[in-house]
Structure 1
Amino acid sequence: MVTLTPPRLSGLARGGLAGVAGAGIGAAAQFGVVVLVVRGAGQEVAGAFFAATALCLMAAGILRLDAGSGLIYFIARSRPFGYRCTSGYVRAALVPVGALSLAAGATALSVSPDPTVLVLAAALPVLVCADVVVAASRGFGAMRPTVLLDGVLQPVGQLLLVSAVVLAGAESVPLLAAAWALPSLPVLLLSALWLRRRLPRGPYLPGTAHDLWRYTWPRSMAAAIQAVFQRLDIVIVAVLAGPAEAAVYTAATRFKVVGQLVNQGLTQAVQPRLVRALAEGDLARARELYQSTTMWLTLLTWPLWLCYAALAPWLLGLFGDGYASGVPVALVLAATMMLATACGMVDVVLTAAGHTGPSLAVLAAAIAVTLTLDALLIPACGASGAALGWAGGMLVKNLLPLWLIHRRYGLRPFGVHSRAALRTWRAR
């Protein structure tokens, strides 16, 4: 029987638990923002605010070109060589990403006179670059910048500033948007300072940008699709069913951020290790990482989803009158996320192995399914139709790559390492 080596597991467990801790704080803060806005500003203002920030996050997801994942891949692979040339990769990633986000923000500023658009357009380059720089720190195997800055500082700062706006009685979408965007600035500054201190000084070698973007361009397209996939449903509900229905849908689905952030916390810890294992051809180590993290995800999130399904009427009542209609959305969400969690980090495994093209195809299929179901169901069913469309896309997004990694590498989400992870979990 294959057993886990305690030192290797403990390092992954510490990183994973740190990521989950930061994710938990971030999820609680984001949930608090939603409660404050919907209760303090009303459904119309809340729906407009959620739609605007969803559009901003979609734009940021497209403009960052998934450069952060590319940096993690190349920085993690350069560890045996003392992280040489990593400063060149960082420059090759940040220059085009920064230029594109500045151009997009300037275009929005020049085209739209809407105050909310002006606020979010000004914040867009900061949001994009902060995400890339924080991601680069994980390539060095460090979780502290991600946990403290991305997991704590940004969401808690958003909660405090949005609270100040709501308590001041300023029911203004531009002010709420400014409060939501401002914490990304200290995140960018502090993460850039951390990274600068650790980047080795060295020349910019020819071919660095070519190597980075040859790997990353399929992920750039996939990240754009993923950004749309995650938040397009809110915008579509606002367009097809109105801002009030969008507020109900956002409230009912906001709890999914808990599971997503737990998944993100573990992914941030395991991704560099998976890259190294697959680059070295260590399939046994990759299987160990995949099955262990799948078990941890299941143990951490399934109780949450079961509780959410059972307590949905009460939890949605926290948002105020009129939100109980989101209970069917909550039930669809809980069932879908439980199934997705049981598949494990399938897309992370696929991209860590270098298969960015198939990952892109999977995401394109998922969003096509979502858009088709949304167009058919939202006009008749409102928020519940959007939930079913999202669920259909999620099934494609998880089951298809699960089949691919099983076919190519014989990997399964559960196995002997799942039992070992369960024993480790109980021991802790």
Structure 2
Amino acid sequence: MAPVTPARRATGSGGRLGRVARAGLAGVTGAGVSALAQFLLVVIVTRTFSAEQAGTFFTAVALALMVAGIAKLDAGNGLIFFVARAKTYDYRGISGYVRAAVTPGAVLSTVAGVVLYPQLGPLALALPLMVVTDILLAATRGFGSMRTTVLLDGMLLPVAQLALVAVVAAAALPYPQETLAGAWAAPYLVVAALAALSLRRRVPRTPYLPGTARDLWRHTAPRSAASAIQALFQRLDIVIVALLAGPAQAAIYTAATRFKVVGQLASQGLAQAAQPRLVRALAEGDLPRARELYQVTTMWLVLLTWPVWLGYALLAPWLLRIFGTGYDEALPVALVLAGTMMVATACGMVDVVLISAGHTSASLANLVAAVAVTVLLDLALIPAHGALGAAMGWSGGVLVKNLLPLWQIHQRYGLRPFGRHSLTALRFRSWATA
């Protein structure tokens, strides 16, 4: 066998990073389309309906997404773990893992939909579809492919929601809350069916292997609780604003913080591409490879998102007027958002690294701390400061959520978000075409 020379190592490294770059670029492209569609949806709703009606709709959507985030039990990430670690090309037994992952979430979300129908209306009917879609799309990423997630979740779903909500707004139909909710929820039926079809083509149906469900949920259970807390962390602020300050303040807060989805989706796009590779690298004890992936993706996040946050901070007085009269009072919220997201982005995918290394319990503890900080600050600040108080509470939670795992992965593995691999991230063009 020929010796592995430095040149060959570099070529191998470039090839690996090239694959991550292409997958990450696909994820970020989908994130960009999704972010734009969600932004335009908020603009349409805020400019067509009153602040109270818009706030009520945004609160219901936030509650539905929060419940779906809890009900999915993080089964998708569990599937990624087992698919990415599969040693055979026939993926024998993976279909059993898919069934073991989907069933509890589907049952739990159905029960939640029945209980919450009086509050959510048509959104309650979509809860099982939202959960099943998320799990099936995650399973396709376990094979190292981003295509299905980008096309369905990043493009088809948000664009279809935008189109249907725009039709409802233009038609001025009666009962706007019910029709808006139905328009937003309807595309999940198509996306769920297409996700199931895509996964069926990849996974041969094989006999169920004894112990499959036990293996899956032994690994996933700690992350199930963490996923539920993460869902609360992402959406609870809008619900608390509506409860403590009213739906009008909830609409203002939603509009001003709509840009945070840009950073979240960009991070999610890169994380979805890098996570299977991080799992393999850390499972094999290949710290140099894990360090390279972490530092390169962190630099990509900074390069992609910092211009957005700086631009938003500078242009917020004019951008907020897009949402309509009265929304320009949210300028302080926009500034808090921009500064916080720049710090969070500079930490990189710290929680993904922690989870990929198998430290799901530590990730859970970090999320509990972040939610506790958020809720305490919200309760203290929202009654007096409304949307700004919610932004400050969210900011405190985000900082805790990122800085704690940053310290932990540095202590355990000596990993840092920036280092000698950061500058190599600038060779993105050559990797993307490798």
Amino acid at match of 2:341: M
1:131 equivalent to 2:134? Answer: yes
Aligned to 2:318: 314
The alpha carbon displacement at 1:3 in A equals 5.3
1:259-298 paired onto structure 2 within 5 Å: 259-298=263-302
Aligned pairs for 1:87-106 (under 5 A) are 87-106=95-114
Q: Provide the C-alpha distance between the structure 2 equivalents of 1:80 and 1:395, rounded to a whole number of angstroms.
A: 41
User: Which residue, out of 68, 72, 75, partners 1:60?
Assistant: 68
Whether the 8 Å CA contact 1:3–1:417 is kept in 2: the answer is: no
CA-to-partner distance for each residue in 1:215-268, whole Å, 9 max, x for gaps? 111111111101110111111111111111111000000010011111111111
TM-score (norm 1): 0.96
Instruction: Output the amino acid matched with 1:31.
Output: F
Q: Following the alignment from structure 1 to structure 2, what is the Cα–Cα distance between the partners of residues 425 and 234?
A: 39
- Give per-residue Cα distances to partners, 1:72-123, cap 9 Å, x unaligned: 01110005554221111101101111111112222334xx3x5xx2211111
The match for 1:107 is 115
Note the C-alpha offset of 1:271.
0.6
TM-score by length of 2: 0.95
- Residue correspondence of structure 1 range 384-399 to structure 2 within 5 A: 384-399=388-403
Q: Contact 1:288–1:417 at 8 Å: present in 2 too? A: yes
Q: Does 1:258 align with 2:266?
A: no
What are the superposed Cα offsets for residues 46-75 of structure 1, whole Å, 9 maximum, x if unpaired?
000000000000000000001000000111
Worse overlay, 333-342 or 73-82 = 73-82
Distance 2:254 2:113 in 1: 26
Following superposition, the deviation at residue 198 of structure 1 comes to 1.2
Matching residue within 367, 374, 384 for 2:371: 367
1:2-21 equivalences under 5 Å are 5-21=13-29
The equivalences for 1:49-88 within 5 A come to 49-80=57-88, 82-88=90-96
2:62 pairs with 1:30: no
Q: Which residue of 2 aligns with 1:40?
A: 48
CA distance in 2, matches of 1:89, 1:341: 33
Contact 1:25 1:152 in 2 (8 A): yes
1:425, distance to aligned residue in structure 2 (A): 5.2
Residue pairs, 1:330-409, within 5 angstroms = 330-409=334-413
> What amino acid sits opposite 2:61 in the alignment?
T
Q: Which residue of 2 aligns with 1:154?
A: 157
Q: CA RMSD of the aligned region, Å?
A: 1.4
Alignment of 1:133-212 (within 5 A): 133-170=136-173, 172-212=176-216
Separation in 2, partners of 1:48, 1:307? 29
8 Å CA contact 1:365, 1:396 repeated in 2: yes
Q: CA deviation at 1:184?
A: 0.9
Aligned length in residues? 423
Give unmatched runs, 5+ long, in structure 2: 1-5
> Could you list the per-position Cα deviations for residues 17-65 of structure 1 after superposition, in whole angstroms to 9, with x for gaps in the alignment?
0000000000000001000000011211100000000000000000000
2:320 maps to a residue whose letter is L
- Between the two proteins, what is the percent identity of the paired residues? 65
Report the Cα distance in structure 1 between the residues aligned to 2:226 and 2:338, rounded to whole angstroms.
25
Partner SS for 1:423:
helix
Output the amino acid matched with 2:171: A
C-alpha separation in 2, matches of 1:85 and 1:321:
57
* Runs of 5+ unmatched residues, structure 1: none
Deviations 1:264-318 (A, max 9, x none): 1111100111111111111111111100100000000000000000000111000
Cα distance in 1 between the residues matched to 2:145 and 2:430: 26
Shift of 1:193: 0.5
Matched residue SS, 1:364? helix
Q: Does the residue aligned with 1:416 lie in a helix, a strand or coil?
A: coil
Instruction: Report the equivalent of 1:215.
Output: 219
Q: CA deviation at 1:427?
A: 8.4
Q: Contact 1:67 / 1:132 at 8 angstroms: preserved in 2?
A: yes
